[in-house]
A and B are shown apart, each in its own frame.
Chain A
Amino acid sequence: MLRRLALSAATGLMLALPALAETVSDFRLSNGLGVVVIEDPRAPVVTHMVWYRVGAADEPPGHSGIAHFLEHLMFKGTDEMSAGEFSATVEAQGGDDNAFTSWDYTAYFQRIAADRLDLMMKMEADRMRDLQMTEEDVRTERQVVLEERSQRTDSDPGAVFSEQSRAAAYLNHPYGIPIIGWRHEIEQLGREDAFSFYRTYYAPNNAILVVAGDVDPAEVRRMAEEHYGALEPTPNLPERLRPQEPPQLAERRLTFSDPRVAQPYVSRSYLAATRETGAQEKAAALTILAELLGGSPTTSLLSRELQFGPQPKAVWAQAYYDGGGLDSGTFGLAVVPAAGVSLQEAEDAMDAVVARFLKEGPDAEDFERIKTQLGAQDIYSRDNVDGLARRYGAALTTGLTVADVQAWPEVLQAVTPDEVMAAARDLFDRRRAVTGWLMQEDEEKSQ
């Protein structure tokens, strides 16, 4: 296996095996802060994360990018610390820190020796309510974000294509807006936009604290009470009601060509169900469907049918499912055609594989092998306590509970072929899909 093309892939499968259930406890402080503690004593290290239940999909219209911009500004100062001092202090303790923003959440984390947890909490609690920044900070950091957008998106035709496809996938929901923001709106973001967003959403009653590693839950509770307990919640925190999708009644298709495209491909993304608290069965069926159709680059149905045989149609073929969104999930297919195969032929071949699958159903042996793999993945994933922390943080900021995370592996193992077929029949409706062709500049004329 060499080089898979980086398509807009899912955020990853979430797996856990009940036989090895990690030691997890959770509680809530009186100001509303949720706390999850994951014990892993194998190394004297702790991951300390604060997750806010706010992301790019919660931004006021016309201010795209403010959630991510604020994430950058959180590394400026507070009433107690000067700009840059937060990271400098973490590093002086031998730790690393960073942050990330998604459509549904924004999270800040440090990875550090377990005996420095108290200081991390003190600093993170400080910047939950007492952020300060100058106009100069804001101006310079906005330039950094514009360079970030240039680097991540504008310099990469595949990323631009994926951004355009996503915008077409949603008729009304802000999931269609890029996390980093549209350039013309980033350029207008100011200090007041950031502060107003910060004051509303950065509060204990809108946050989840996740502590994972070599820690004692009682100690964590004591420290959390001390540092986070006194923070004022935001009164009348706005309910998380984003504009929802109307019935999608018309298939969307788009082409994007650019002289920098070297490898054309076709991608299709369908709106799909997401994991819901107490009802994860459909998402579990879609997870297995994605594995059957396009998980393994060798043995999945799409790979087998399109990459193998005497006249292979594709260099790569894959399927993915992202069921982690608060309001909506995505199921995607993508095919990179072999030399001499047109995008139309590649798309037709992809659709033919799906059509046959809908008629014939899954191979029993494939079905079992995928379940075995999903189960074992959990043992391997446990080697990475950071990954566990992220799994809980992401779940708890998208409407799921600790119980949902822990039930997920059993729900996956309980999926039947009939459930997969029902989910597939429901899913594959082109009226709820966007199909895109990424093309070389001269290709458009010839096709």
Chain B
Amino acid sequence: MMLRLAAALILFALPVRADVQIQDVTSPGGIHAWLVESHELPFTALEIRFRGGTSLDAEGARGAVNLMTGLLEEGAGALDAQGFARARDGLAASFSFRPSTDAVAVSARFLTENRDEAVDLLRLALVEPRFDADAIDRVRGQVLSGLASDAKDPSHISGQVFDAQAFGDHPYGSDGSGTPESVQGLTREQVVAAHRAALARDRIYVAAAGDIDAESLGLLLDRLLGDLPAQGAPMPPRAEWKLDGGVTVVDFPTPQASVRFGQTGIKRDDPDFFPAYVLNEILGGGRFGSRLMTEVREKRGLTYGIGSYLLPMDHAETMMGAFASSNATVGQAIDLVREEWRRTAAEGVTAEELEATKTYLTGSYPLRFDGNGPIASILVGMQMEGLPIDYPVTRNEKIEAVTLEDVKRVAQGLLKPEALHFVVVGQPEGVASDG
């Protein structure tokens, strides 16, 4: 096996790209940001996060933050939706506004040659959105169309049913886009209130990468964000996990059942997070060679893909997974997942699996830093997670430090085969809801 030998001789750890220098920038007005300067291409990628997201919806206004976010670029200041889009496209800038469970994300790319105009335009969208009645109706129609499609998408249904059972009345238990009824009933006042609640200076995280220096970035941030209200809505409470182990079948006419499975997870700042991360990678990392992929796809051909992941959110932690398998075979696949969960909890992992996974995780980490867009996005995510600015340099050491014993201990504590719950959307043969 010549090739294998050649592979083993190559060192596996890569230094993080030498010229990634992360600067800690504080604007004159007090806004913090992380910056990686890179002047090869004449544009800047800017990433902003407002913590809270759709979980900040007020009582009786489910979907308001989502609808509000969709309206930010549909008219602002003196510009209506058409005028705003023409101005943005004329500058060749690109803005995106995306709501999620824990944050409203803003991504912007703009050219150096018209940076000031692009930032002024983005400021209008964030600070002075118009929320015109016709725009509200138009975007509401788009949200309702999306909800109607989701309601007939087995993969979406499995996620929604799982969340509802796991988190009940907490915002994590329902779709942040709202229900057709709640969205239909949203008023302009509720949208305006959602804007004040979600986009405030007390919850901002910023990262930039590209053709801009620290001083210019500081001035830019004050102009862009300085006029937002100082304080937004309070964060929701912790979400209590309400789900026991078992199976829930949702009858749906489809040849292939869609499955979501999960249990409680682990906090991002838990000292055992890294062993847990490595453990999940071995058990269900979405790559070839993970235990779930090997058993369910490679050996038996029961699915096109299966994976599991740790999801440490702001108010709850879960460990989730998903796959799809024909109605005739989904029962067998579920049994295999349970068995791998049980076996891994009982026995831990092998030294070979641990080594191969560590080399993959440490070797692939630096490859993520390959462009202004990806770098800005990674840096803003790090800040949201409360990680220190030197994290990219120390992260691989933390992976390296994980021992076989760590993984075994964490596997025993974290993996709960009897608590694993499966939601199956389809017409599975020989699988029924329990209790």
Query: What residues make up the interface of A, taking CB atoms closer than 8 Å to B?
Result: 1-3, 5, 20, 42-45, 75, 80-81, 84-85, 87-89, 91-96, 111-113, 115-116, 119, 122-123, 126, 139-144, 146-148, 150-152, 154-156, 259-263, 296, 298-299, 304, 307-308, 310, 312, 315-316, 336, 338-339, 365, 369-370, 372-373, 375-377, 379-380, 382-385
- Check A380 against B367 for contact (C-beta < 8 Å): no
- A265's nearest neighbour on chain B, judged by CB, is B145
Chain B 149-170 interface 0/1 with A at a Cβ cutoff of 8 Å (1 = within): 1111110000000000000000
- Contact of A113 with B89 at beta-carbon distance under 8 Å, contacts A44-B17, A119-B6, A151-B256 already known: no
Contacts of A299 in B (CB 8 A): 82, 85-86, 89
Q: In this assembly, does B356 line the interface, its C-beta being within 8 Å of a C-beta of chain A?
A: yes
Contacts of B150 in A (CB 8 A): 262
- Check A262 against B149 for contact (C-beta < 8 Å): yes
- Contact of A94 with B6 at beta-carbon distance under 8 Å, contacts A113-B366, A151-B304 already known: no
- Contact of A304 with B289 at beta-carbon distance under 8 Å, contacts A263-B145, A380-B94, A382-B41 already known: no
- Among the 9-residue stretches B49-57, B267-275, B292-300, B336-344, the one with 4 or more Cβ atoms under 8 Å from chain A is B292-300
List 28 interface pairs A-B (beta carbons < 8 Å), by A numbering: A42-B38, A43-B371, A44-B14, A45-B370, A91-B359, A93-B12, A116-B10, A119-B3, A119-B7, A122-B3, A140-B300, A140-B301, A141-B301, A144-B303, A151-B304, A154-B256, A155-B154, A155-B255, A262-B151, A299-B85, A299-B86, A308-B81, A336-B145, A339-B141, A369-B86, A372-B90, A372-B92, A384-B371
- Check A84 against B364 for contact (C-beta < 8 Å): no
- Check B141 against A88 for contact (C-beta < 8 Å): no
Q: In the assembled complex, how far is the CB of residue A261 from the closest CB belonging to chain B, in whole angstroms?
A: 7
Contacts of A44 in B (CB 8 A): 14, 17, 366
Q: In the assembled complex, how far is the CB of residue A215 from the closest CB belonging to chain B, in whole angstroms?
A: 14
Residue B364 contacts which of A96, A312, A365 (CB distance < 8 angstroms)? A96
In whole angstroms, how far apart are the Cα atoms of A148 and B306 in the complex? 12
- Contact of A92 with B356 at beta-carbon distance under 8 Å, contacts A147-B256, A150-B256, A151-B256 already known: yes
Residue A298 contacts which of B82, B90, B96, B256 (CB distance < 8 angstroms)? B82
Q: In the assembled complex, how far is the CB of residue B5 from the closest CB belonging to chain A, in whole angstroms?
A: 11
Residue A383 contacts which of B66, B254, B371 (CB distance < 8 angstroms)? B371
Contacts of A383 in B (CB 8 A): 41, 43, 45, 371-373
Residue B288 contacts which of A87, A95, A261, A365 (CB distance < 8 angstroms)? A87
Contacts of A85 in B (CB 8 A): 3-4
- Check B82 against A94 for contact (C-beta < 8 Å): no
Which interface residue of A144, A308, A376, A379 has the most chain B CB atoms within 10 A?
A376
- Check B254 against A155 for contact (C-beta < 8 Å): yes
In whole angstroms, how far apart are the Cα atoms of A122 and B1 in the complex? 13
- Check A93 against B363 for contact (C-beta < 8 Å): yes
- Which 9 residue pairs of A and B lie closest in terms of their CB atoms, listed nearest first? A94-B363, A143-B301, A376-B92, A298-B85, A150-B256, A148-B304, A3-B146, A262-B148, A2-B70
Q: Which residues 1-27 of B have a CB within 8 angstroms of A?
A: 1-4, 6-7, 10, 12, 14, 17
Q: In this assembly, does B369 line the interface, its C-beta being within 8 Å of a C-beta of chain A?
A: yes
Residue B363 contacts which of A84, A95, A140 (CB distance < 8 angstroms)? A95
- B84's nearest neighbour on chain A, judged by CB, is A298
- Check A144 against B367 for contact (C-beta < 8 Å): no
Q: A44-B17, A384-B371 are in contact. List 9 more A-B contacts (CB 8 A).
A: A1-B74, A84-B288, A85-B4, A88-B356, A96-B364, A112-B363, A151-B256, A376-B111, A380-B94
- Check A94 against B43 for contact (C-beta < 8 Å): no
In whole angstroms, how far apart are the Cα atoms of A282 and B66 in the complex? 41
- Contact of A42 with B370 at beta-carbon distance under 8 Å, contacts A84-B298, A92-B356, A141-B301 already known: yes
Contacts of B174 in A (CB 8 A): none
Q: In the assembled complex, how far is the CB of residue A183 from the closest CB belonging to chain B, in whole angstroms?
A: 10
Q: In the assembled complex, how far is the CB of residue B291 from the closest CB belonging to chain A, in whole angstroms?
A: 13
Q: In the assembled complex, how far is the CB of residue B79 from the closest CB belonging to chain A, in whole angstroms?
A: 11
- A3's nearest neighbour on chain B, judged by CB, is B146
- Check A143 against B300 for contact (C-beta < 8 Å): yes
In whole angstroms, how far apart are the Cα atoms of A5 and B144 in the complex? 12
Q: In this assembly, does B253 line the interface, its C-beta being within 8 Å of a C-beta of chain A?
A: yes
Q: In this assembly, does B391 line the interface, its C-beta being within 8 Å of a C-beta of chain A?
A: no
Q: In this assembly, does B175 line the interface, its C-beta being within 8 Å of a C-beta of chain A?
A: no
Residue A94 contacts which of B134, B138, B304, B360 (CB distance < 8 angstroms)? B360
Residue B253 contacts which of A5, A143, A259 (CB distance < 8 angstroms)? A259
Q: In this assembly, does B76 line the interface, its C-beta being within 8 Å of a C-beta of chain A?
A: no
Contacts of B356 in A (CB 8 A): 88, 91-92
In whole angstroms, how far apart are the Cα atoms of A424 and B145 in the complex? 31
Contacts of B148 in A (CB 8 A): 262-263
- Contact of A151 with B324 at beta-carbon distance under 8 Å, contacts A263-B145, A296-B89 already known: yes
Chain B 290-321 interface 0/1 with A at a Cβ cutoff of 8 Å (1 = within): 00000001111111110000000000000000
Residue A93 contacts which of B2, B7, B66 (CB distance < 8 angstroms)? B7
Q: In the assembled complex, how far is the CB of residue B77 from the closest CB belonging to chain A, in whole angstroms?
A: 16
Contacts of A148 in B (CB 8 A): 304
Residue A92 contacts which of B12, B45, B86, B304 (CB distance < 8 angstroms)? B12
- B43's nearest neighbour on chain A, judged by CB, is A379
- Contact of A375 with B17 at beta-carbon distance under 8 Å, contacts A45-B367, A87-B287, A296-B85 already known: no
Q: In this assembly, does B334 line the interface, its C-beta being within 8 Å of a C-beta of chain A?
A: no
Residue A91 contacts which of B144, B298, B360, B365 (CB distance < 8 angstroms)? B360
Q: In this assembly, does B143 line the interface, its C-beta being within 8 Å of a C-beta of chain A?
A: yes
- B303's nearest neighbour on chain A, judged by CB, is A147
Q: In this assembly, does B263 line the interface, its C-beta being within 8 Å of a C-beta of chain A?
A: no
- Check A92 against B359 for contact (C-beta < 8 Å): yes
Contacts of B367 in A (CB 8 A): 43, 45, 94-96, 111-113
- Check B254 against A43 for contact (C-beta < 8 Å): no
Residue A122 contacts which of B6, B14, B297, B298 (CB distance < 8 angstroms)? B6
In whole angstroms, how far apart are the Cα atoms of A123 and B304 in the complex? 25
Q: In this assembly, does B47 line the interface, its C-beta being within 8 Å of a C-beta of chain A?
A: no
In whole angstroms, how far apart are the Cα atoms of A139 and B301 in the complex? 9
Contacts of B297 in A (CB 8 A): 144
- Check B17 against A147 for contact (C-beta < 8 Å): no
Contacts of B17 in A (CB 8 A): 43-44
Which interface residue of A88, A94, A122 has the most chain B CB atoms within 10 A?
A94
Q: In the assembled complex, how far is the CB of residue B221 from the closest CB belonging to chain A, in whole angstroms?
A: 22
